[in-house]
Structure 1
Amino acid sequence: MTGTIDTILSRRSVREFKEKEIDDVVVEQILEAGRWAPSGLNNQPWRFMVIKSNNTIEKLSKLTHYTDVVKNAPLLIAIFLDQDSSYNYVKDVQAIGAAIQNMLLASVELGTGSVWLGEILNQKEKVNEVLDAPSSLELMAIIAIGYPVEKDRTSARKPLEELVYYEKYSLKKNE
């Protein structure tokens, strides 16, 4: 396997980052990958907020159990659902999940590491206050991004036999 499949299989959540800023060109490429995710009716319901300010990162770090992950990331991207452009909540949330996955995979390709932070959603109103986000934006996740501290990162997955069901069908016609 090569290319996309290798990237998918090698992606791991990175929670420890080097003290090194992310170049704006890399940030733009990650955002571009998110922008190209599929969405129903091509409504592109996502909005991204790039967060680099140490002051803002510090405030956000206090709104999650993953304080150190957030505090040590040189870059955060908050992903929102723009309720003004939403036409179907479930489809739009799924589209945002695709945008997030695109950004996580782009991060790997660009030599950075990232982690999808969902627990911070428990404080989404406070996050919106810190970010001064318009009320029409609903926080969906924050991605912490940085250059990964070198270490082994392993992950296990359940076997396909535990995850996949096949429809019942007959090999004989007309049965």
Structure 2
Amino acid sequence: MKDNPVLAAMRERRSIRRYTQEPVTLQEIEAILEAGRWAPSGLNNQPWRFLVVRAGDPRQEILAGKTKYAHIVSRARALFCVFLDREAGYNRSKDLQGVGACLQNMLLAAHAQGLGAVWLGEIINQEPEVTRALGLDQSRLELMAVLAVGRPDQAGSSDRKPLGELLLEPVARKEQA
């Protein structure tokens, strides 16, 4: 697992909630967006839509005012608002799964570039108010998450339950001949 860069990135990525004041470059932002764009989706419908709010944009404080994680939003150097485009969807469950894959790709792209990021889901408790406050069409777009991104100003940490606790039954082993 450690020899494979994709598997290593999945294992090493952490949620980072504190950032330095150093900006995130346009090239880094575009790489994160490209990673999201290439996520799998049912029927390849790609139902996600992005709004990037960079540090200093007045919409950053609008977003901060809509979540209990205002301190993270206010310090982020870039915020990636990810929406579900209802007009592009065909099956809500599959569309939500696709958006989740999109978000994971974006988090991995941030990590791969040495950036820190965190998936903020609590803000959707204020949806569609957030969408309306951003001046977007709330009948078409539904906020799924905001990714806060910046240069890490903290080390990440995490642990996981043992795999055995997550399996509904043991994986059958087949011996190679």
Shorter-chain TM-score tier: over 0.9
1:146 is aligned to 150
- Kindly state the Cα deviation for residue 132 of structure 1 after the two structures are TM-superposed: 1.0
Q: Distance in 2 between matches of 1:157 and 1:167?
A: 18
- Give the distance between the partners of 1:129 and 1:17, measured in 2 at CA: 28
2:22 to 20, 23, 30: 20
Structure 2 gap ranges (5+): none
Aligned equivalent of 2:108: 105
- What is the CA-CA distance between 1:168 and the residue it aligns to? 8.9
After the TM superposition, which of the residue ranges 58-67 and 85-94 deviates more from structure 2? 58-67
SS in 2 for 1:100: helix
2:114 match: secondary structure: coil
SS at match of 1:48: strand
Amino acid at match of 2:150: G
Answering whether residue 126 of structure 2 is matched by residue 114 of structure 1, we say: no
Instruction: Return the alpha-carbon distance in structure 1 between the equivalents of residues 20 and 165 of structure 2.
Output: 37
1:34 aligned partner, one-letter code: G
| Alignment counterpart, residue 34 of structure 1, candidates 33, 36, 43 | 36
Q: CA deviation at 1:125?
A: 1.8
SS of 1:143 mapped into structure 2: strand
The aligned counterpart of 2:95 is: 92
TM-score, normalising length: structure 2: 0.91
Q: What residue identity is the alignment partner of 2:31?
A: Q
The CA deviation string for residues 43-90 of structure 1, in whole angstroms up to 9 with x for no partner, is 000001111143111111111111100000010010001000100000
2:62–2:134 Cα contact (<8 Å) kept:
no
* CA offsets 1:98-122 (integer angstroms, 9 cap, x no match): 0000000000001111000000001
1 CA distance for matches of 2:49 and 2:86? 10
Root mean square deviation, CA, Å: 1.7
Greater radius of gyration (CA): 1
Partner of 2:159: 156
Q: Which amino acid aligns with 1:35?
A: R
| Uncovered stretches (5+) of structure 1, i.e. residues with no partner | none
Deviation at 1:36, TM superposition (A): 0.3
Tell me whether 1:65 sits opposite 2:68 in the alignment. yes
Identity, in percent, stands at: 44
